[in-house]
Amino acid sequence: MAVQNTTGYIRVTHTGVTKNSIYLKDLDGEINRGTDRQKVPCYVPFQGSIDVLLCDHTLASLKSGDVSGFVSLGCVKAFVVRNLRSETYEEIT
């Protein structure tokens, strides 16, 4: 299933501050669409990145959850990408 250009997602990138992968326990994934919307944990691999579809759980994580906490610690960088345009973490908080 291809993601449309108008779909938003959060790109979370490991900064390399720690040599371990980063565990984000409060994200939501495509597998939850149409279900009771339980949160799905995700790992950001060492010096890698993940893209997570933008929805209520992922936005909440970015603003005040796991993603926000790891951004504050400098462990990850997070960007919202919509319509092929990137917004920095500071622009949405």
Give mean pLDDT, residues 34-61. 80
Percentage of residues in the chain with pLDDT exceeding 70?
Answer: 68
pLDDT number for residue 80? 87
pLDDT number for residue 27? 76
Domain tally, the chain: 1
How many CB atoms lie under 10 A from the CB of residue 66?
21
Residue 71 counted as domain residue = yes
Residue 13 counted as domain residue = yes
Whole-number Cα distances in Å, 7 to 16, 26, 34, 38: 28, 20, 17, 21
Residue 46 counted as domain residue = yes
pLDDT number for residue 32? 46
pLDDT number for residue 1? 43
Q: Is the pLDDT of residue 22 over 90?
A: yes
Residue 3 counted as domain residue = no
Q: Which domain holds residue 47?
A: 9-92
Residue 74 counted as domain residue = yes
pLDDT number for residue 16? 96
pLDDT number for residue 55? 79
